[in-house]
Every structure is written in structure tokens, then in C-alpha cells.
């Protein structure tokens, strides 16, 4: 900023001293308490001035503008802003949401390796929910000011561009504590020797095979590592193999052969050793950003976090679920040929609680679309371990020419309201609690099928089966996947769960209707 001295002509002004960097074709702003205006500097010259009883050098500016004369009577109150600098115009912001399998990131990012994992995090355009999408890098095109990432699978939903972050340096981590155990001594005179694993439960990890799991167990006899098999059936007399079985008490046993179905153990003193990991189940499915500490920190590593919630942890099957899943393997025999085979194969895969297969006609041709749901209603996210390993197992054990689309199910819920007429012999409050418990049990995740509707008659029948109920008056039955349907109180004859379908050329998953956690709009006794 410079002080103003009025010039010798109507288009010139003098500054209080010379200033470097004031050039022709630059700009100057004259500011007074009442008015400010921008002028173009056409000429610059240094000159001597004698004003106000003093003399000295000044800088003479010739200005081009419309209202320079307005400053003639405010010389002492006017400031001149000079030394203007040309700034490039900022690019218009890109407001379009990020979607699909192509993501443009700012800057030239080098060192991206094909087939490495990345995590794309951002806020959903539709719901505002934070999404952490795991994907594999197919290609990275590096430009001068941007890098375009091609990922698979593509983003499941559109994300707000300003919220999107792409994480590299992704390392897979699994749940389990590693330890060792001396199982005992081999005895060549014994057939089918077996040893108990003392540290429970044995860790299994998701794998792209028929069962969907591999144990984290290594057995060495002497210094030789033996190989695990699902069963000793079919093993040769010289095959150094073993199998792992879990008994009804939950104990894990390692079983060796008899010299016909698998080799016998050689005799020795404490020559059978195991190294394995301990830890299993849904307790390992920690939330996003909960993993922040490392047991050891290698040099150069600053920190660690998990942008995506852990998934794939599956509890041991209860007896009821095991009875349903055990026959599935005998139906598929490890292969997926028919549409029913694809559904059964997915149902038998560890970590999958429900599955439904349909043929959908997409733009790429007929596609076997499989909707899957995880244990306890968990979503099976695209790019997650269960999704990837199930995909790999279906491709390896199915027709390689069949197109497959794996879809995580869409959870939906409903609400209801009813009045109960009770038998006078039953107390009111315990009866209402029993009705609520019966409805919650019947419409729980484990009891419902993908695409199964909810009928008025079904609700009434479940409530009527509770001892002490004489009559039911159903007042409300409403809900569905739309937020609008969740608040629109009504009495529907039936609530439909969406089936697998093609919408705008995209395969959409089946829905599963369950009772809402705050389901009861009304549950009271009839007067």
C-alpha cells in the first residue's frame, strides 16, 4: 500500500516514494473511506516532487479508469494498492458423485501395483452413511495432474465426491493368537492315533474352497510337515496326512491314519508338534477405526487403522443349522452345475446363512445372480473375504463360462400393532410379554427366507398359538425398505419382500423382512 500524491495531469497520480514491482499493464486500486476502484496502470515513471514543504523522489503512475477524479479531493485519505500479481483462475469444482469402477484422484500417484487391495471410503449420496468399500486395483493410469484408478468390484453406491478418500498400503489382518503345543509321541503300532488341541477354539480363516474355510494349524512329525485333509477317506497308505474333527463338547482332535487310509505316525518321543492360532467367531468383527495399536512396530511404520469394519468372523454352527447345512455338500458334491447347485453351494459355504439363486438377463447376457446373507443378518460386502472366497470357489467349481453376480441381501423390517383378548385364568402382563416374544422369534432373521412376504393371517396365527390368547385384533401392519413406508401407519393385507430383479440394467438383491427392533406400535389387552 502506498500513499497518494495527486499527479500533474488528470490521469496521473504520484506515490509517496518509488515501489519495486509496479509495472505497466499491472493494476492499482485506489481506496478512500467513501469509495474504491480498480485502475489499469498504463505508464510508470520516477520523478522528483516538492510538496508540503519537503522534496523527494516519487513514482508517477498513469492510470486508465472512469472515476479517477473522485479521489482528487481526498488525497490525504486515499491509499493506493499496487504490485498486483496475476493469479491463474481456479478450476471449476467437480461436483458429480463418484460411482462405478473408475476413480480419479488428485496428483500423479506412482508406485500403484496391479492386483493390490485398496479401500475407498466416503459418504453415500443417498443415505449419508459412511461407506468403506474394499476393492482390488485393476489398473492405474498416471497423468500429469491426476491418476485414474480402475477397481473391481465397482463401488456399490454413489459417494459424495468431497468425502472420498482412497487408502493404499492395505494389508489383510486376521483374528487369532499364535501358539505351539507338543501333542505327544507317535506310536507306529497304533492305528488312527489322535491328539487333543488344548488351546481352544482353533482359528479358521475364509478360503476359496468347497467348505469356505481352512484351519490355521500346522503339524510336524519330527521335522516333516504333514498335510491336512477334510477326511482320511481316499488317502493312500504312505500319505502323510491328518484330519481335524470337533466333538460335541467343542474339543478339537487331530486324527492320523491307520496305514491304509493315511500313513501311521512313526514312533518317537514327543515327536508330534503343532503350531496353530487360537480365536474364532463374531467377536473378531471389530468396528471401523477400532484397530489402532500394533503388537510390534517395524521401522518406518507410523501407525495403523482399519477404515473398514472387520468381517468374516463366524461362530461355530449350532446343531439346528448344522442339520440344515450338512446335506448340502452331498447334493453338490463340490460342484456347481445347475441353478440349485449354485444356491446349495453358497448355502454350504462357511459364513453364509442364507442364499437364493436366480437367472437374470443383464446387458452382458444371462447371469446366475446369487443373493447371500451373512451370519446373524450381517451383510456380505463386495470385496470382503467371504465375498471374494465364495466368488473364487464358485468360479473354480462351477462352469467357467457362466456369468455370476454375487449380491448382498437387502435388510428390511416391518411394524405392527395389535390387541389381545386373554383367558381370565392368565395374568395380563406375562401374556403380553409371551405374545411379543413369540412374534419376535417367528419373524427373526434365522426363521425368514429371502423374498418371503409377511401376511396378516401369519401374524394372527403366531399370536393365537400363545397359551392364554382367546382372540386377536390386528390394528397395524406396515413397513418395508422405503423410509416412507416405515412411518406410514396402515393395515396391509400382506407386506411383500422384493425379489431379485433387474433395475436400470443392474442386478438388485432380494430382500428379507424381519420384525423391527421397535416393532410394536400397539400391544395391549382388549377392554
Answer whether residue 145 is part of any domain.
Answer: yes
In SS3 terms, 459-492 reads as HHHHHHCCCCEEEEEEEEEEEECCHHHHHCCCEC
| Residue 380 shares a structural domain with residue 426 | no
Dihedrals φ, ψ of 467, to 5°? -60, 130
Q: Output the nine-digit C-alpha cell for 82.
A: 499496487
Give me the pLDDT at residue 191, please: 95
Contact 408, 509 (CB under 8 A): yes
How is residue 373 annotated by DSSP?
Answer: E
CATH number of the domain bearing residue 350: 3.30.300
Answer whether residue 289 is part of any domain.
Answer: no
State the pTM of this model: 0.72
Contact 62, 11 (CB under 8 A): yes
3 state SS of 219? strand
Give me the pLDDT at residue 332, please: 76
| Residue 401 shares a structural domain with residue 415 | no
**End-to-end C-alpha distance for the chain, whole angstroms:** 86
| Residue 224 shares a structural domain with residue 119 | no
| Residue 188 shares a structural domain with residue 153 | no
pLDDT in tens, 446-477: 999 999 999 999 999 999 999 999 999 999 99
pLDDT in tens, 89-137: 888 888 899 999 999 988 888 888 898 989 999 999 988 889 998 888 9
> What residues contact residue 326 under an 8 Å CB cut-off, 6+ apart?
none
Give me the pLDDT at residue 5, please: 58
Contact 462, 478 (CB under 8 A): no
Examine the fold and report which residue of 145, 167, 189 is the final residue of a domain before the chain moves on. 167
Give me the pLDDT at residue 7, please: 56
pLDDT at 403 over 80: yes
| Residue 445 shares a structural domain with residue 473 | yes
| Residue 512 shares a structural domain with residue 430 | yes
pLDDT at 166 over 60: yes
Give me the pLDDT at residue 459, please: 95
Answer whether residue 95 is part of any domain.
Answer: no
Name the more confident of 284 and 165.
Answer: 165
Rounded (10°) angle between helices 339-348 and 319-332:
140
| Residue 400 shares a structural domain with residue 452 | no
Answer whether residue 313 is part of any domain.
Answer: no
Examine the fold and report which residue of 389, 408, 427 is the final residue of a domain before the chain moves on. 408
Q: Is 55 exposed, middle or buried (0-12, 13-18, 19+ CB in 10 A)?
A: exposed
Domain count, the chain: 5
Cα(385)–Cα(310) distance, integer angstroms? 10
Span 251-273, mean pLDDT? Answer: 95
Examine the fold and report which residue of 167, 192, 223 is the final residue of a domain before the chain moves on. 167
Contact 512, 495 (CB under 8 A): no
Cα(161)–Cα(125) distance, integer angstroms? 9
| Residue 428 shares a structural domain with residue 511 | yes
Q: Where are the alpha helices (DSSP H) in 102-244?
A: none
Q: C-alpha 226: how far from its chain's center?
A: 37
Answer whether residue 300 is part of any domain.
Answer: no
In Å, what is the CA distance from 122 to each residue of 131, 146, 148, 282, 399? 5, 19, 17, 25, 36
Give me the pLDDT at residue 3, please: 55
Rounded (10°) angle between helices 456-464 and 428-442:
130
Answer whether residue 152 is part of any domain.
Answer: yes
Answer whether residue 90 is part of any domain.
Answer: no
Span 371-377, mean pLDDT? Answer: 91
| Residue 427 shares a structural domain with residue 402 | no
Q: Quick one: what percent of the chain has pLDDT higher than 70?
A: 98
pLDDT at 410 over 60: yes
| Residue 417 shares a structural domain with residue 404 | no
Cα(133)–Cα(360) distance, integer angstroms? 25
Span 189-209, mean pLDDT? Answer: 91
Residue 8: band (very low, low, confident or very high) from pLDDT cuts 50, 70, 90: low
User: Taking the CA atoms of the chain, what radius of gyration do you get in angstroms?
Assistant: 37
Cβ atoms < 10 Å from Cβ of 27: 15
Cα(339)–Cα(336) distance, integer angstroms? 8
- Which of 219, 240, 239, 241 has the alpha carbon at shortest distance from 230? 241
Grid-cell match 491304509, residue found: 260
| Range 423-426, long-range pairs (CB < 8 A, 24+ positions) | 423/468, 423/469, 423/470, 425/468, 426/467, 426/468
Cα(409)–Cα(181) distance, integer angstroms? 42
Domain that holds residue 156: 102-167
3 state SS of 434? helix
Give me the pLDDT at residue 248, please: 82
Count how many residues are written for the chain. 527
| Residue 449 shares a structural domain with residue 375 | no
Residue 222: band (very low, low, confident or very high) from pLDDT cuts 50, 70, 90: very high
> What residues contact residue 191 under an 8 Å CB cut-off, 6+ apart?
257, 258, 259, 264
Answer whether residue 288 is part of any domain.
Answer: no
pLDDT at 419 over 80: yes
3 state SS of 25? coil
Amino acid at each position: 500500500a502506498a500513499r497518494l500524491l495527486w499527479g500533474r495531469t488528470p490521469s496521473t497520480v504520484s506515490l509517496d516514494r518509488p515501489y519495486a514491482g509496479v509495472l505497466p499493464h499491472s493494476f492499482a486500486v485506489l481506496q478512500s473511506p467513501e469509495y474504491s476502484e480498480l485502475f489499469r496502470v498504463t505508464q510508470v515513471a520516477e520523478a522528483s516532487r516538492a510538496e508540503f514543504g519537503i522534496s523527494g523522489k516519487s513514482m508517477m503512475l498513469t492510470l486508465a479508469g472512469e472515476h479517477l477524479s473522485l479521489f482528487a479531493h481526498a488525497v490525504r485519505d486515499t491509499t493506493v494498492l499496487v504490485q498486483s500479481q496475476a493469479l491463474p483462475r481456479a478450476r471449476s469444482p467437480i461436483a458429480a458423485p463418484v460411482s462405478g469402477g473408475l476413480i480419479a484422484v488428485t496428483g500423479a500417484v506412482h508406485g500403484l501395483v496391479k492386483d493390490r487391495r485398496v479401500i475407498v471410503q466416503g459418504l453415500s449420496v443417498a443415505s449419508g452413511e459412511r461407506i468403506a468399500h474394499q476393492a482390488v486395483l485393476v489398473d492405474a493410469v498416471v497423468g500429469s495432474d491426476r491418476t485414474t484408478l480402475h477397481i473391481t468390484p465397482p463401488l456399490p453406491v454413489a459417494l459424495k465426491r468431497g468425502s472420498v478418500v482412497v487408502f493404499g498400503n492395505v494389508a489383510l489382518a486376521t483374528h487369532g493368537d499364535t501358539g505351539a503345543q507338543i501333542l505327544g509321541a507317535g506310536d507306529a503300532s497304533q492305528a488312527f492315533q489322535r491328539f487333543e488341541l488344548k488351546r481352544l477354539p482353533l482359528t479358521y480363516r475364509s478360503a476359496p474352497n468347497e467348505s469356505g474355510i481352512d484351519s490355521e494349524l500346522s503339524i510336524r512329525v519330527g521335522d516333516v510337515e504333514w498335510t491336512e485333509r477334510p477326511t482320511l477317506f481316499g488317502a493312500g497308505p504312505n500319505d502323510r496326512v491328518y484330519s481335524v474333527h470337533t466333538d460335541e463338547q467343542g474339543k478339537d482332535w487331530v486324527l492320523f491314519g491307520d496305514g491304509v487310509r493315511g500313513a501311521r505316525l512313526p514312533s518317537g518321543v514327543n515327536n508330534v508338534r503343532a503350531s496353530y492360532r487360537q480365536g474364532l467367531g463374531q467377536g473378531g468383527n471389530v468396528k471401523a477405526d477400532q484397530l489402532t495399536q500394533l503388537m510390534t512396530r517395524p521401522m518406518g511404520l507410523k501407525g495403523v487403522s482399519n477404515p473398514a469394519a472387520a468381517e468374516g468372523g463366524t461362530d461355530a454352527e449350532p446343531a439346528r443349522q448344522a442339520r440344515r447345512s450338512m446335506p448340502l455338500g452331498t447334493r453338490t458334491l463340490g460342484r456347481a452345475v445347475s441353478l440349485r447347485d449354485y444356491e446349495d453351494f453358497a448355502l454350504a459355504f462357511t459364513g453364509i446363512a442364507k442364499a437364493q439363486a436366480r437367472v437374470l438377463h443383464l446387458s452382458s447376457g444371462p447371469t446366475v445372480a446369487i443373493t447371500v446373507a451373512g451370519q446373524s443378518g450381517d451383510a456380505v460386502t463386495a470385496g470382503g473375504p467371504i465375498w471374494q472366497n465364495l466368488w473364487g470357489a464358485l468360479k473354480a467349481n462351477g462352469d467357467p463360462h457362466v456369468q455370476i453376480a454375487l449380491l448382498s441381501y437387502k435388510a428390511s423390517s416391518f411394524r405392527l400393532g395389535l390387541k389381545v383378548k386373554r383367558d381370565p385364568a392368565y395374568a395380563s402382563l406375562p401374556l403380553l410379554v409371551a405374545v411379543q416374544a413369540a412374534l419376535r422369534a417367528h419373524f427373526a432373521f434365522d426363521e425368514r427366507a429371502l423374498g418371503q412376504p409377511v401376511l396378516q393371517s401369519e401374524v394372527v396365527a403366531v399370536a393365537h398359538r400363545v397359551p392364554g390368547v382367546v382372540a386377536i385384533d390386528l390394528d397395524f401392519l406396515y413397513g418395508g425398505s422405503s423410509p416412507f413406508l416405515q412411518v406410514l401407519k396402515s393395515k396391509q393385507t400382506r407386506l411383500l419382500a422384493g425379489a431379485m430383479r433387474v433395475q436400470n440394467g443392474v442386478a438388485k438383491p432380494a430382500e428379507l423382512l424381519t420384525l423391527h427392533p421397535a416393532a410394536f406400535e400397539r400391544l395391549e389387552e382388549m377392554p
